[in-house]
Amino acid sequence: MTTGIELRNLRKLFDGHGHASWAVDGVDMTIGAGKFVTLLGPSGCGKTTTLRMIAGLEIPTSGQIFRDGQDITDQPVTDRDMRMVFQDFALFPNMTIEDNVAFGLRVKSKRGAYSEAQIKRRVAEFLDLVHLKDHAYKKPHQLSGGQKQRVSLARALVTDPKVVLFDEPLGSLDANLRKIMQLELIRLHRELGKTFIYVTHDQDEAMAMSDAIAVMSQGKVMQFGTPREIYDRPANRYVASFIGHAHIVNATLDSKEADTVTVCLGNGDRVGLRGNVDAAPGSAVGLMLRAEDLAFADAGADTIGGKVIDSLYRGEYVEYVVALNGNSGVVHVHARTDLPPVAHGLAVALKVNPVKAHVVVQ
Amino acid sequence: MDCVTRKLHRLITAAVLGSFGFSSAATAGGQLTLLCWEGYADKSFVEPFEAETGCKVNAVYVGTNDEIVSKIMSGGGTADLISPSNDTTMRLVNADAVSPIDESKVPNMADFIPEFKRPAWDVKDGKLWGVPYGWGVIRIIADASVVDPNTDSLGFLWDSKYAGKLSMWDDIETVYTASRYLGFKNTYDLSDEQLEQVKAKLIAMKPNIRKYWFTTGEMGTLIASGEAIGGNSWESTIVQLRADGKKVADLKPKEGRGGWSDSWMIVKGSESNPCVYPWLNYVSSAKAQALAHKVTGFGYPNVKMADELDENTKAAYTELGMTDPATLTNVDWWQPVKRRAKYLEIWNQVKAASN
Amino acid sequence: MTTIERAVEPARTSIRSARAIERRRLLLWLLPPMAWFTVFMLIPYAMLLYTSLGHVDDMRFIPGLSLDNFVRVFTVDPYLGVIIKSARIGLMTAVLSSVVAYPLAFYLAFHVRTQRLKFLIYLLVIVPWWASYLVKAYAWKTILGSGGILNVGLQELGFVHEPVRLFLYNEFSVVMTLTYIFTPFAVLSIYAQLERVPTSLIEAARNLGADGWMIFRRIILPISVPGIVAGAIITFSLAFGDFVAPVLVGGPDSVMISNVVINLLGVAFDWPLAAAIGLVIITLGLLLISASGWLEEKTQTRF
């Protein structure tokens, strides 16, 4: 039984132009073997630095990195047996595709691991795996971006590492290609059963591919959980607002029971929800409301009142912007396109999906 | 002007100006245009002349004798006076490019050392064609503590005792030197056979050569630093070394020494310029030549010139025998070399030959 | 003619006149470079060719259509020999410059982290160019001479008891001096190429387990070949055509082709032969540049 990668209070100080700052500030995380884990966050949140510390390309200022229970914090990058896929592909421009993929094997073969014939066979096998066997003798500059990324992938996988690291690997590809490559990565992860640690700022990508996501901000992990946990039960306002275009409305915790919670909005509207919250009644909380969890309804209990101030036709649905009564906030509502349009300025009542709406404390 | 600047200047002028020619807007009549070496129209003696005569002097400096010849021959110049060397003067006379000198209009020539009153390189058909000016003897010099100062033959240059210890001028004068040692009387008109012998002799000297020097200052440094102990050079090297306290012998080889002498010549047609003769007489005066010596360090033909010098300069000048007619005996004065390209080719072959 | 075609017609005309204006504008843009090319390239080369085909008789240039001067360059001692010697000195300078320049360029490209230090080193490489060539060449005399720093040092340390005369006034000192003077070109040329190597390439190689030597040999060196070639061509050309170093620090046989040409111009007044040598060198130079251009293209890594 392996435990995968474990990070313990990992920190990294960056010295930029006179003032030092913590790029990574106390990251604790356990990444199970064979999992697809994504570090998600905006640029500068410390996700790439964390990944590079795992790879051994950056030396942690403090903290420890374990693999399978073994402290590898001081192990040189060349010995870590983790392969990285870079955002700019980092293919060796002077070598053919075949030589690029073979590079890691030839390094190993210096230690007598593979014969040249074995290398040839294995490279061909992995080029086939990424659908590039016809391009073996081309140079990197002759390939498209997507093809280059696949070479980069084959080069990483061919040495059969236990862990593969991805640093925004699809960042430079166009949207369609990115979707195709996402599916490709999911397939490879499933087929090869390796640990994938993936860095991205694209939450859709993170949601679609990962077993678990670590949402990072300012060098810290804000929440580490499955995509569903992150999306449906964000641990705090930051995660809630970062993921899935949620709107946070200020509210007060009215009462709570075993598995239901009632919050009171600034305008006096009261909403009952499923779930639990770690706060005492009367304390200020945030009510997370996503467009898909709201619907127009007749005014009554468990609805919130507001006024339509804008609408956007999205094709699939119409998105209304509603200003809640009493300046409590603004939310977006999705409505079916076959319903009659709602005029701007009209007072409306919104029904909240009690299962999906969520209360955040911090 | 010392040899350093002259040599470099020649080089640069030759390389840069080339045959593009020069043009000067100067016209005769209160104006005088000189085509001469740098230092031959220094303001220290030009300004008194201008003040005295009212003639405005324009000087165009040249780097090589060839430049003078090509400019005068092509007729593109408006020069009144030129200052070619003794290997060039007769070519200009023969080409009918210059006018004879009326000696009566240059009374200061009476004070010249007899050898410079009517030198061979300025006389044809009984007429004088140039007024001698700066001159010098190519000295054979040696560190007096290494070479016997009484050495009276060029033969020591080939003595294997001095392997890697000599430095000779990077110039065809060194070709002449070898020719003199071989006893050829026609130094400036050698046959192919003789040139081959000269070449062989010069290649035989190469093991003794530390470096072919390029400027007289360089030769001085080579001797002073002990890199070289002897060779050929100009007077200025001896003056420089002696001033630095180095005992340097000025050898008098029986085979003879090379000699150069520049002359002011009147470009044909300019003899009517009223400023020409005043200039010729002025630069022949002891006073003007003393001022010129201060600039160039060269010898000048006026015997009384030395008396106008300061004490130290005069002592150095007389020690070199520049005032003594005896110095001028056994000088093999430069002459036009018809096949100079061939001489140079021989010289380049010598230099390119590996040691 | 249909209505549509008629409607299209005026548009075509305006496109045509727009093109004419474009052409005229292009001509205007091309005029200065063409004038430059004519005045500074075409005419001088034509003059050179014209001169090389004539001969000189008693200091006068006689035009002609003879190839004698070219024949002389190849058959009469010492011209071809001196060209070959110059090429040898140029080659040694190019090789030595590359060897000296590479580590510096490498250090500059990969190990200098701060921009300020990078700029400082860059400046230190360039600054000697603000000093006169002559001063730098003279400096080598004072280093290599019998009483020079090197000899004094060796004697002080007791390695030798007499000054070593082999340091100065020979081909070695010429190559040393030329190498010193022209190495900055090699540094800049190699550095320019090395700087194109993204850090991620090195990180990727390390990530794949490669050690420093392997990264250098398999990735950095192959990518830097065009920079080495370009630097070598520059240093070779500059050293080949040099005439100062042989005069200042060369020995009795360190005559280079430019010295010969200068002598032919200034002393022998043999401009036609000098022009012929010039043309031979230019032709060799063109061949060399074509060959190196091909080599650079061939070895250039496309990113």
Asked if CATH classification 3.40.190.10 holds for the domain at B138-256+333-352, the reply, yes or no, is yes
Q: What is the pLDDT of residues C121-179, one digit of tens each?
A: 989 988 888 888 888 888 888 888 888 889 889 988 988 888 888 888 989 999 999 99
Q: Which residues of A touch C211 (CB under 8 A)?
A: 78
Q: What is the pLDDT of residues C201-258, one digit of tens each?
A: 999 999 999 998 999 999 999 999 999 999 999 999 999 999 999 998 998 888 999 9
Q: Which residues of B touch C59 (CB under 8 A)?
A: 66, 69-70, 73, 91
Hey, which residues does A248 pair with through a beta bridge?
A: A288
pLDDT (average), residues B75-81: 79
- Predicted confidence at residue C10, as pLDDT, reads 58
Count CB pairs under 8 A between chains B and C.
102
**Contact yes or no for C90/C182 (Cβ under 8 A):** no
At residue A269, φ and ψ (nearest 5 deg) are -65, 140
ipTM attached to this prediction: 0.83
- Predicted confidence at residue A17, as pLDDT, reads 67
DSSP string, B278-294: HHHHHHTSHHHHHHHHH
- Predicted confidence at residue B106, as pLDDT, reads 96
Contact assignment for C200 to A90 by CB distance below 8 Å: yes
- Does residue B7 have a pLDDT over 60? no
**Contact yes or no for B282/B93 (Cβ under 8 A):** no
Residue of C nearest to B168 (CA): C252
DSSP string, A54-88: HHTSS--SEEEEEETTEE-TTS-GGGS-EEEE-TT
C-alpha closest to that of B336 among B220, B201, B218, B172: B172
**Contact yes or no for B184/B192 (Cβ under 8 A):** no
Burial class (CB in 10 A: 0-12, 13-18, 19+), B186: exposed
- For residue C166, give both structure tokens: 């082999």
* C-alpha distance from A282 to closest chain C C-alpha (Å): 54
Hey, which residues does A305 pair with through a beta bridge?
A: A349
Q: What is the pLDDT of residues A186-242, one digit of tens each?
A: 999 999 899 999 999 999 999 999 999 999 999 999 999 999 999 988 988 899 888
Domain ranges of chain A: 3-237, 247-361
- Find the range with the poorest average confidence among A79-83, B3-7, C58-62, C252-256: B3-7
Q: What is the pLDDT of residues B163-208, one digit of tens each?
A: 999 999 999 999 999 999 999 999 999 999 999 999 999 999 999 9
pLDDT (average), residues B315-330: 89
Query: To probe the interface with B, which of C61, C89, C247 has the most B CB atoms within 10 Å?
Result: C247
d(CA A202, CA C78): 74
Count CB pairs under 8 A between chains A and C.
65
The crossing angle, in degrees rounded to 10, of helices A97-109 and A145-157 is: 20
At residue A112, φ and ψ (nearest 5 deg) are 80, 25
Residue of A nearest to C299 (CA): A94
Share of chain C above pLDDT 90, in %: 51
* C-alpha distance from C113 to closest chain A C-alpha (Å): 12
Q: Which residues of B touch C138 (CB under 8 A)?
A: none
Domain B3-129+260-329 adopts which CATH fold?
A: D-Maltodextrin-Binding Protein; domain 2 (3.40.190)
CATH superfamily of A3-237: P-loop containing nucleotide triphosphate hydrolases (3.40.50.300)
- Predicted confidence at residue B112, as pLDDT, reads 95
- Does residue B6 have a pLDDT over 60? no
Contact assignment for B64 to C267 by CB distance below 8 Å: yes
Under-50 pLDDT residues of chain A:
1
- Predicted confidence at residue C12, as pLDDT, reads 64
- Predicted confidence at residue C5, as pLDDT, reads 53
Chain B: touching chains (3 or more CB pairs < 8 Å): C
d(CA B71, CA B251): 38
Q: How far is CA C199 from CA B295, C116, C219, C303, in A?
A: 63, 19, 12, 13
Q: Which residues of A touch C208 (CB under 8 A)?
A: 83, 103-104, 107, 155, 159
Hey, which residues does B261 pair with through a beta bridge?
A: B135
C-alpha closest to that of A100 among A148, A169, A160: A148
- Predicted confidence at residue A358, as pLDDT, reads 86
Contact assignment for A92 to C210 by CB distance below 8 Å: no
Share of chain B above pLDDT 70, in %: 91
Query: To probe the interface with C, which of A88, A96, A107 has the most C CB atoms within 10 Å?
Result: A107
CATH architecture of A247-361: Beta Barrel (2.40)
* C-alpha distance from A63 to closest chain C C-alpha (Å): 21
* C-alpha distance from A64 to closest chain C C-alpha (Å): 19
Residue range(s) in chain B whose domain bears CATH number 3.40.190.10 = 3-129+260-329, 138-256+333-352
Chain C: touching chains (3 or more CB pairs < 8 Å): A, B
pTM above 0.95, yes or no: no
* C-alpha distance from C204 to closest chain A C-alpha (Å): 6
The answer to whether B14 contacts chain C (CB < 8 Å) is yes
C-alpha closest to that of B43 among C60, B34, C96: B34
Chains A and C touch (3+ CB pairs under 8 A): yes
Q: Which residues of C touch B63 (CB under 8 A)?
A: 266
- Which residue did the predictor score with more confidence, B229 or B7? B229
- Which residue did the predictor score with more confidence, B23 or B158? B158
The answer to whether A148 contacts chain C (CB < 8 Å) is no
The confidence band for B11, taking pLDDT boundaries of 50, 70 and 90, is: very low
Burial class (CB in 10 A: 0-12, 13-18, 19+), B279: buried
